[in-house]
Structure 1
Amino acid sequence: MRYWLLLTILWIAPVYSWWPQPVLLPEDAAARLPDMAAPPETVAEPQQTLAADGSLESSRAWLAGYLNSVSGSLDSFFVDAFFGDDLIGDDVSGTRGKISMATRKVSGDALEFKFGVSVKLDLPNTNDRLKLLIESDEEDDGVQQNFLDSVDNTSYSTALRFLVNERAAWRTDFDVGIRGGLPFNPFSRFRARRYAYLSEWEMRATQTLYYFRDDGWGEDTELRLDYPLNTEKLFRINTRARYLLDNRFFDLNYDLALYHELGPHSVLAYNAGASGDSAQGATFYSYYAGVRYRRQVYRDWMFFEIAPQFEWHRDTDYRTRPVLMLRLESLISKD
């Protein structure tokens, strides 16, 4: 019986190299965020009684090295959590909040200010299936030329999110809420998200259907692809198409980013993107390219960010416009 066990393990180890890997959901990534590499003890323990066989030990060492190299890559959840860009839309359990104060200076224009808040609160006694969402409006009309005005004039949306289904690679949820002040703009929103691996690419596809009283019916289709280059760099492709039934055309957005972890407290991102619509065929009329440097400045929840970039827009005859953005942000989480 012991020899059959040895032959079985020796056969499984090489097959593991080409067998499709299970999807790593953000909840799993969050659990190992403090230490991005999986501890080797978790792989080595089962071999204590079988280590005498040389060929078996070499297979075990190869498998342990492979798992360690995969888990040691810069994690997409680390990037998302560090930058806090998708606090409401992510699928990580626990109460999370973000408060940000940002300035934006375009060459030749006045200094602009924007205040932002987003909160995702797990409601007690619901087994993480019901959440309260509060988020400031991200549209451009929230930008003001005075910081106090940006705080006073910020509009918010409030919603209840119900987790419909959660599996290894699928997640679906349903939101009901109100956006803006009086008169109320009620909305409902259904979202389905799929996680998968395509060779070494990690894919996240999201389809959202929604109805706003003021805007009518619409849908968003998003695709995000992450490729870990090594333990310090992650390459990301983002695409989004938004369709409003009343407009009868798509708003299109594409961007590329290379995230470079400089250390445990700082990340540098190189990004570029384009936006447009399909009103007269697929046309892109706004472009940007720049860098984002983000650093923890106090404990593990206060961040400062500086982001210089260049913009080219059809409204300015594609003239190069330097832009400088500064942001001070607090990210609060309770898992």
Structure 2
Amino acid sequence: MSRPQFKSPLKAFLHFLLRSLLISLLCQQAHAQWGLIVPETNSPTPDRNTSEKQTTPDEFELIRKGVAQSRNLLGQTASTIGFGLDSLFGAPNKNQPNESAITLRSGLEIQDSGLLTQINTLSFQADLPTASSKLQLLARLGDEHELENRSTNVQTEQTPEPFESRILKADKAGIFLRYIYQHPESLWQTTFDNGFQFTPHSLALEPVSYLRIGQTFLSGTWQIRPVPVIYWAESSGLGTGIALHTLKPIDAITSLQHTTGVNYLFDEQMAYYQHGWQLVQAFTQDLRATSNITFYSTNRAGHLIDEAKISATLRRRIDSDWLFFSVTPADTLSSENNYKSNLSITFQLEAKFGVQY
């Protein structure tokens, strides 16, 4: 059976969608154009549908109760695990709710080449109040499974990632103990992550450590936050760098964010550069749009820009504070591919479980 040839239509669709989102994000009245909220209607329903209308609410309520029970069970499970881990450091207060949380993300990425990638990630954050109000246990498990590969030279990564992870080639799976410290008389905050990362398929553990120091300064309407960092991984060795983050509110719903970073790996004698801008618009409490453009390069790159990534994410809250849906059209331009367009679109569902949700 021949495979469907949808490369050209998908490419045209992604071009149109990405261009439309980026233009709309710059318009203050864009939230009135999305059409995501279906208006109520009082139009009469034919009599032949009366019986169906009577049974639908009961079925919907049954499904809703089942979802609520499953969500509460997972939330209580996260809290129970948090209490168990917290008891290793002392006697936890049973009267105080443990706000440990489980976050599940599942999605599908479609590229214009025809490559389909299933994305599943699971993360757990343990609340450890007995040990310290500033101590956290973080665990994450990720998997990206290619469902259909029609190209041998296609990059599956399409969203900007933490700079240290990009340099250290860190996998999405790992378990870390995070300690956050801030002296009462200082505005500088220190964050120390120490743990292991591993590939879900092989489970080969690799020790990793991160040390970050950050402080936020105000300059007019700008928020400026420099973040020096030192990191180490068994496979990459010692590295250091600094990132400069800025944020400027434009109006009641729009903010402009910027990040510039320089990092250096001593063993490889490689310098990595990153420069990006992000426009965030919170149209309502339930609907948020984010557009990104990020440039990457190294001291060994043959071009000023080694890679550029453009994306626009529309994120909608589906239910309360625990269930979200997002769609992200993106384009990746790489010097290795002569800056040819590599379009993709990602659909993702995110669910958070915990007593606080």
**TM superposition score normalised by structure 1:** 0.63
- Using a 3 Å threshold, how does the CA distance of structure 1 residues 166 and 116 change in structure 2: closer, same or farther? farther
Task: Map 1:88-167 onto structure 2 (within 5 A).
Answer: 95-136=100-141, 142-146=143-147, 156-167=173-184
- 2:345 and 2:179 map into 1 onto residues whose CA distance is 39
Specify which of 282, 295, 299 is matched with residue 261 of structure 1: 282
Consecutive unaligned residues in structure 2, runs of 5 or more: 1-97, 149-155, 157-170
Indicate conservation of the 8 Å contact 1:132/1:160, yes or no.
yes
Partner residue, 1:78: none
Indicate conservation of the 8 Å contact 1:306/1:326, yes or no.
yes
Instruction: Identify, as 1 or 2, the structure richer in strand.
Output: 1
Specify which of 242, 252, 256 is matched with residue 221 of structure 1: 242
Amino acid at match of 1:105: I
- Using a 3 Å threshold, how does the CA distance of structure 1 residues 269 and 163 change in structure 2: closer, same or farther? closer
Q: How many residues align?
A: 234
- 1:323 and 1:196 map into 2 onto residues whose CA distance is 37
CA RMSD in angstroms, aligned pairs only? 2.7
Partner residue, 2:349: 328
Q: SS of the residue aligned with 2:267?
A: coil
- 2:246 and 2:172 map into 1 onto residues whose CA distance is 32
Asked which structure has the greater RCO (Cα within 8 Å, sep 6+), the reply is: 2
Amino acid at match of 1:98: T
- Using a 3 Å threshold, how does the CA distance of structure 1 residues 189 and 311 change in structure 2: closer, same or farther? closer
- 2:207 and 2:278 map into 1 onto residues whose CA distance is 35
- Aligned residues with identical type, % of pairs: 19
Amino acid at match of 1:278: N
Q: SS of the residue aligned with 2:336?
A: helix
Partner residue, 2:198: 180
- Using a 3 Å threshold, how does the CA distance of structure 1 residues 324 and 128 change in structure 2: closer, same or farther? same
Q: SS of the residue aligned with 1:290?
A: strand
- Using a 3 Å threshold, how does the CA distance of structure 1 residues 118 and 208 change in structure 2: closer, same or farther? farther
- 1:249 and 1:218 map into 2 onto residues whose CA distance is 9
Give CA-to-partner distance per residue, 1:249-286, whole Å, 9 cap, x none.
22222221111111110011122121121225883121
Amino acid at match of 2:133: D
Consecutive unaligned residues in structure 1, runs of 5 or more: 1-92
Specify which of 297, 319, 343 is matched with residue 298 of structure 1: 319
Q: SS of the residue aligned with 2:130?
A: coil
Indicate conservation of the 8 Å contact 2:115/2:147, yes or no.
no
Q: SS of the residue aligned with 1:143?
A: strand
- 1:326 and 1:229 map into 2 onto residues whose CA distance is 28
Q: SS of the residue aligned with 1:284?
A: coil
Structure 1 residue 160: deviation in Å? 1.3
Structure 1 residue 102: deviation in Å? 2.5
- 1:122 and 1:295 map into 2 onto residues whose CA distance is 27
Structure 1 residue 306: deviation in Å? 0.7
Indicate conservation of the 8 Å contact 2:303/2:335, yes or no.
no
